[in-house]
Structures are given as structure tokens and as C-alpha cells.
Amino acid sequence: MLSILLFFLETLITTVIAQQQCVPYASNYSFTTGYPPVWQKPTSQIFNTDEFKKLNSSIDWTKVPNIPPRKLVNGALDRSTYPVTDPDCWWSYNLCTTPKAPGLQPDIYMCPEPGTWGISFDDGPNCTHNVFYDYLRANNQRATMFFIGSNVADLPYEAQRARSDNHHLCVHTWSHQYMTTLTNDEVLAELYYTRKVMKEVIGITSRCWRPPFGDCDDRVRAIAQQLNLTTIIWNLDSDDWNMVPAGAKQPAEIDAIFQSFVDMGLNGTYSKSGAITLQHELNNGTMSKAIEWFPKLKSAYKHIVPIASCMNITHPYEETTITYPSFAEYIGTQENNGGTSNNNNAAKKSSSVSIASYSSLISR
């Protein structure tokens, strides 16, 4: 009976999300000065400002490898002339996550804790994410959210919702470019102005970032590291962004990918370490899939945690007054509240939370 009720609940939640539409609004914030235009790659208009010149002069450029920007051909990265030895640890070439240039920290791409699902969502904040965020909150679940600066500028109140729900918030650049194709100034601006708008709207200075499309090399890593940003990639890609109507894949194809993740959790693939997933807050479809598969993933993995907790990063922001739970603290809280522990009693308790919150989930 409970399983039937849960099925109808999840179907109704998914339907509500699918029916939501973005409604633009005016906020108390103005980003017409001191920032690049939203959804535009920064240009000399920004580079010539006193603020950016001061920022640029603060960077130790001797620590940034002299790697020429990559090229795009018909919208895709050109890998045709790149050396097979991968001298620059170019992730888009062979998924390299251990830098070859001296002094650079390795990328975070997996959780070290066995049986753990590091949950993360790119491309937020989204204007229709309230039902999705309500669902996460009802299940006592935090996640790592990689925010696009232009989205934060356009949707500041949605960004604030993420902070109030205590999600772990990271940079996902200003305008979502292939970062290795940009000049040094463009890379610096994409990262800096995203951190700036997040500080102005949310009140935090993030210490983590994820490159759009995963596109990163040692030059880009070095610039990010100068801003005290740790590079976070992933080792499981849901490909949810590519689901129709936004992309080319049918929902069943995305379901098959998620089912493979469930299988990995059950068959011991992650018995000695954990995963970091790439999912998206991109649109109603990707958020619906997240809700649909969350209970199945929870039953397949011992723990579902934000990346900060899976890496025991207790100070994810430069504001030292803000702390985040360690792995042990996070899973202790989850288990005490019927969150993500992989046992029947915890699963039943978490399901009852979802059912009890049904009214609030569909009222948005």
C-alpha cells in the first residue's frame, strides 16, 4: 500500500514540476554596473575597469602555465592537434584530474567514503525550483549546487532559497563557456564576477567551482586556484541535460543511465569509495528526474551527501563564521532524522516525511 501511495505521490510531484513556468520578476538588486552583461562573455568593457585591473594585478601570473586557449570548430572543442601525451591535463581530452603543472591541487571527482553518493546539481538557480527544493528539504537532504552567475543576477531570491536551505554553493562561471577556449582575462572574469554576485546576493564567498562541460586544463585550474577555488568534476554523468525537449535523448534513455547508477550502488562498484554525480537544476525535466530517482538511489547507496561533507570540508566559504557538517556529522544527522541511511526503517521514515509534506509540495 505504501509503495502504491509513494508511486502516486512522485507522479503528482513530477507533474507539478513539469507544469511550472518561469515568471520573470523585478528584484531589489541591480547588476547593470560593476558586472558583465548577464549571459555575455566578459569583454574589454569590464577589463578596463579599475576593479578588474586591481584584481588582475593581484594574480601571480608566473604561476599560470602559458597554455594557448583552445579553439571551437562548429561549436565543439577541437582536439585534432592536441598531443596524445596530454601535457596540460586537459579534462576534455582524456578526463585528466591530476594536474601536471607544479603547485596545482588535484580536482575533486569522487567521494572517498565507501558506498556514498555525492549529490550535486549544475546550472542553477532555476526560477521554478521550489517544488524540487521542497522535496529535498522534506527528505532532509542537502546537495551541492553549482550556480551560474547570470542566473544569480536574474533570480536572486531563488539563490537565497538555496542558502536558507543550507545547500553547499559553488561557482559555475558567469556565462557558461568552454573555459579552456577563453583568454586569461576572460577566465578570471567568469570566475570572479560569479563569486561577486553570489556574495552580494547570498552573503557567501565560495571556495569551489565546476567548469561547464568539465572543460578545464592546468591554465584554467591555476587561475581558479589563485582565487582560492577548488575544481570539482564528477565520475558519474546522468546526461539529464540532454533529455527532450531541451536535448536529443528520450526520458527512457535517461532512466537507463540512472538505473545503471542504482545497479552500481547495489553490486559493490562503490564498496571502497564513492561517487560524485553530475545532475542539473537546468529545467523542469531534469528536476523531475532527480525527484523520480532519489528514493531508488537512496536505497542503493549507504549515504547521499553534499560534496563538502563527503570531502570533510567544514569551511566551504571564506566566511569562517559559516561551518558545514563533516561526513560523520552529516550522516549522523541524516540517520537520526530518517534521511539517507540504507535500511528499511530509515527508508520508511523518509517516505513518511514526503507524504506528510505533500500539500506543501503541490501548493507552489
Q: For residue 25, what pLDDT is reported?
A: 73
Q: For residue 358, what pLDDT is reported?
A: 27
Q: For residue 220, what pLDDT is reported?
A: 98
Q: For residue 184, what pLDDT is reported?
A: 98
Closest CA to 129 of 25, 237, 264, 20: 20
Q: Which residues are catalytic?
A: 122, 280
Paired with 170 in beta bridges are 146
Q: For residue 1, what pLDDT is reported?
A: 46
Q: In this structure, which amino acid lies at residue 132?
A: F
Q: For residues 99 and 67, is the Cβ–Cβ distance under 8 A?
A: no
What lies within 8 Å, CB to CB, of 285 at 6+ separation is: 18, 240, 243, 244, 245, 246, 251
Q: For residues 185 and 212, is the Cβ–Cβ distance under 8 A?
A: no
- Residues in the chain, pLDDT under 70: 1-24, 335-364
Gap between the Cα atoms of 304 and 139, Å rounded? 11
Q: For the segment 142-161, what is each residue's pLDDT rounded down to a tens digit? A: 999 999 999 999 999 999 99
